């Protein structure tokens, strides 16, 4: 069956994109091979070939609800509870993409806030995530480890229905794995873009590339400090200016990384920060010039359920990896010999792993050969197969009955936070007007 699918992006689809927008575009493209697809994003002017586009973000409730009525399936990352409730009332199938395990990530993301705010935000995020699971016809995530996380949460909340289990004891039709992928086309050849951006890097110097941003749950300090043990090697942070960075509350961690590099006497000498964000279409040239791709994280719960998409970029470009152990892709690097994985926070071990791969051409080439062998299984068209197939057989699956009680609890938590923020920012009168508008909207719908 050919379905009409509406894919929603919470972030603009533009030249410079971070993970959420990239994933929305690539899943829409994979779906468009077999289905009729509309890609909705804030500020959208066009979409990739083979699909329609809609200029609408998550705040454009009425536009998105109207569009959903014209489609068979809606695919979206975590939705605001109020919008989720509107969509759940329609005869449309909902695919909720929970590839980012925010219920765990939030433990680190709010660490700098006061204790009371940490607990409030944690509760809000937990309610929102559970609401997605309570409404979705299909939940997709990035790894089997994440699948266990969501299935466990759903089981404890009573969201695994006996009828669904009897029909499909594996529950793949309810929760399945759709990882991040890589492009089918090969990465470009090196063009010298990194050395042009940082003239201190000589032609014979080796380059370690940290792709992606610097977040609070990552460990930029370990590769920076490892540089003291590596001669003729430069560490480049590919981008610290993620689109919408201020909204994430994570800008401080790039500043701290610079402070560490400065304290080590390495900033601008052998550790370099690209202040912008490399356009999606241009990132391949940066990746191709690297000798090693690096990633590091701390020994946190977040790492166990994370899926470091930057490591996939290294594999796309055929670049061996040095990373921390403990997450899904670190385990893949270690198990498949795609580079080296070291204990979190081990500066000496990180330096030794880099030195070994850079100094032993045979080991480096063997890792590249294993990456080449694995790469075809990682392309978007392959990893998205479960989603594409599910959309093609929705007529075989009875629609799920959403748990309205869980959805209402998440909506109440969202409204309480929004009301408190409005009072603090705009005053009690503005808050009263906001409540009045919402009551009138409910009345019109009722």
| Residue-level pLDDT at 446 | 39
d(CA 422, CA 253): 28
Residue 216, CA atoms < 13 Å, CB-side half-sphere:
16
Question: Do 156 and 296 fall into the same domain?
Answer: no
Bridge partners of residue 237, in order along the sequence:
210, 273
Q: Say which residue, 157 or 279, is predicted with more confidence.
A: 157
CA nearest to 316, candidates 340, 345, 287, 337: 287
- Residues 159 and 250 both lie in one domain: no
Q: Is the pLDDT of residue 329 over 70?
A: yes
The number of domains in the chain is 2
Same domain, 215 and 167: no
From residue 95, alpha-carbon distances to 88, 367, 440 in Å are 11, 37, 30
Tens of pLDDT, residue by residue over 146-155, are: 999 999 999 9
Mean pLDDT of all residues in 291-299: 95
Give tens-digit pLDDT for 34-51: 999 999 999 867 677 889
Kindly state whether residues 248 and 392 are assigned to the same domain. no
Average pLDDT of the segment spanning 409-437: 53
Residues 356, 295, single domain; the answer is: yes
Q: Are 25 and 57 in contact (CB under 8 A)?
A: no
Query: Given a cut of 50, is residue 440 above it in pLDDT?
Result: no
Q: Is residue 186 part of a domain?
A: no
Residue 440 lies in a domain: no
- Tell me if 74 is assigned to some domain: yes
| One domain for residues 177 and 63 | yes
Number of Cβ within 10 Å of residue 428's Cβ equals: 9
- Are residues 211 and 352 located together in one domain of the fold? yes
Same domain, 164 and 218: no
Q: Please tell me whether residues 278 and 317 are part of one structural domain.
A: yes
The tokens of 259 are what? 């402070």
Residue 247 corresponds to which tokens in the numbers above? 């909204």
For 311, the domain range is 193-377
- By C-alpha distance, which of 376, 357, 377, 356 is closest to 367? 357
Answer yes or no: is 147 within a domain: yes
pTM: 0.86
pLDDT at 420 over 70: no
Q: What is the pLDDT of residue 429?
A: 47
Q: What is the mean pLDDT of residues 332-352?
A: 96
pLDDT at 323: 97
Residues 170 and 202 in one domain: no
Q: What is the pLDDT of residue 278?
A: 84
CATH number at residue 145: 3.40.50.2000
Give the strand order in the sheet containing 321-324: 271-273, 233-237, 206-210, 292-294, 321-324, 339-342
- pLDDT for the residue 160: 93
pLDDT at residue 185, as a whole number: 92
- Any domain includes 426: no
Residue 419 forms part of a structural domain: no
Say if residue 199 is in the same domain as residue 173.
no
What is the tens place of the pLDDT at every residue in 205-240? 999 999 988 888 899 999 999 999 999 999 999 887
Chain centre distance of CA 202: 34
- Give the model's pLDDT for residue 248: 63
Concatenating the DSSP letter of every residue in 134-161 gives HH-SEEEESSHHHHHHHHHHHHHTT---
Q: Is residue 437 part of a domain?
A: no
CB 406 within 8 A of CB 88: no
pLDDT computed for residue 410 by the predictor: 79
Read off the pLDDT band of 246 (50, 70, 90): low
Evaluate whether residue 154 is within a structural domain. yes
Same domain, 41 and 104: yes
Digit-coded pLDDT (tens) for 78-122: 888 889 999 999 999 999 999 988 898 888 777 778 888 888 888
């Amino acid at each position: 069956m050919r379905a009409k699918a509406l894919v929603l992006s919470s972030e603009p689809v533009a030249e410079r994109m971070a993970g959420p927008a990239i994933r929305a575009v690539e899943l829409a493209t994979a779906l468009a091979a077999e289905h009729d697809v509309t890609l909705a994003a804030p500020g959208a002017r066009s979409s990739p070939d083979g699909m329609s586009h809609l200029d609408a973000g998550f705040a454009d409730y009425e536009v998105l609800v109207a569009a959903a009525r014209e489609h068979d399936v809606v695919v979206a990352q975590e939705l605001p509870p109020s919008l989720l409730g509107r969509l759940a009332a329609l005869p449309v199938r909902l695919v909720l993409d929970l590839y980012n395990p925010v219920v765990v990530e939030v433990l680190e993301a709010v660490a700098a806030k006061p204790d009371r705010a940490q607990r409030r935000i944690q509760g809000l995020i937990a309610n929102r995530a559970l609401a997605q699971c309570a409404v979705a016809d299909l939940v997709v995530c990035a790894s089997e480890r994440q699948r266990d996380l969501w299935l466990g949460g759903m089981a404890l909340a009573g969201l695994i229905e006996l009828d669904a289990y009897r029909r499909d004891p594996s529950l793949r039709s309810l929760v399945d794995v759709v990882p991040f992928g890589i492009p089918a086309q090969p990465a470009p050849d090196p063009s010298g873009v990194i050395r042009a951006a940082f003239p201190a890097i000589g032609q014979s110097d080796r380059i370690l590339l940290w792709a992606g941003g610097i977040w609070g749950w990552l460990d930029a300090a370990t590769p920076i400090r490892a540089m003291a043990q590596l001669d003729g090697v430069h560490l480049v942070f590919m981008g610290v200016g993620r689109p919408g960075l201020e909204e994430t509350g994570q800008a401080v961690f790039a500043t701290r990384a610079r402070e560490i590099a400065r304290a080590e006497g390495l900033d601008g000498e052998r550790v370099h920060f690209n202040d912008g964000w490399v356009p999606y279409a241009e990132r391949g040239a940066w990746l191709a010039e690297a000798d090693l791709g690096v990633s590091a994280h701390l020994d946190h719960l977040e790492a166990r359920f994370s899926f470091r998409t930057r490591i996939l970029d290294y594999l796309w470009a055929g670049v061996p990896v040095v990373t921390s152990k403990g997450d899904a892709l670190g385990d893949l690097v270690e198990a498949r010999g795609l580079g080296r994985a070291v204990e979190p926070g081990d500066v000496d071990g990180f330096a030794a792993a880099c030195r070994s791969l850079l100094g032993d051409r045979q080991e480096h080439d063997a890792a590249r050969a294993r990456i080449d062998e694995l790469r075809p299984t990682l392309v978007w068209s392959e990893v998205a197969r479960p989603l594409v197939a599910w959309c093609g057989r929705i007529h075989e699956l009875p629609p799920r009955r959403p748990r309205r009680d869980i959805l209402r609890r998440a909506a109440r938590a969202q409204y309480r936070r929004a009301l408190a923020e409005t009072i603090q920012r705009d005053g009690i009168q503005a808050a009263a007007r906001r409540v009045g508008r919402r009551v009138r909207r409910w009345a019109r719908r009722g």
